[in-house]
Structure 1
């Protein structure tokens, strides 16, 4: 494979998003202890949720993929492209599963938020941040 190859990524995007976040932490642009509200003031309870809790699925935020709204819409319009803000609106319409750090629940909402945080910090979409990161670490064989 080369850095120019195109592949279907599916959930692999989550791995790239978390790698970008950890790279931003390493570069000092972000802290794992940052409250989410520092970067996204619209997140319910975001002053008590940390970046680390998003990464470790301990935020308590509702998983938008568990909503009837999303699942019904996907049945009716399987080709629809969802914007991150639309997905967050679905999640934020539901109460959290638990308080931040009080449990574990896999939630795609966490990864969407991490991508938006990276985008805000870097001023470009997470995909281009990941491509640049891959370009830094990928060295083709001579």
Structure 2
């Protein structure tokens, strides 16, 4: 992989990861502040968003200091794609149910697309997560971080 491609993928991956981490901290901290003191698990998003966003910040710090780059890229991909899968699962499960099928839409695809289009923050978050994950996958496939 040439240096320009590597630089662009690195930039896109880092920016997508940073924005995603900040969005999930912004959404998760208020939920955690509400539910954690009560030991309530009615909405688990705070319990999932905050630690995973902090993990993404650790990934970024490790990349900045050039430590264990390939494993960190893989962790970043897993967390970012986990956010995308979690978003789909959350809406298929009627906003928190464990079993999909709570909504009465014609198809699961139309359900997810409807929620995706109706929420600009979700749209933005999913886009940056996919960009970040794709860039990190490109770096992994291209051999970034190998000596």
TM over 0.5: no
Structure (1/2) with the larger helix percentage: 2
Higher relative contact order (CA 8 A, sep 6+): 2
Which of 1 and 2 has greater Rg?
A: 2
Normalized against structure 1, the TM-score is what? 0.32
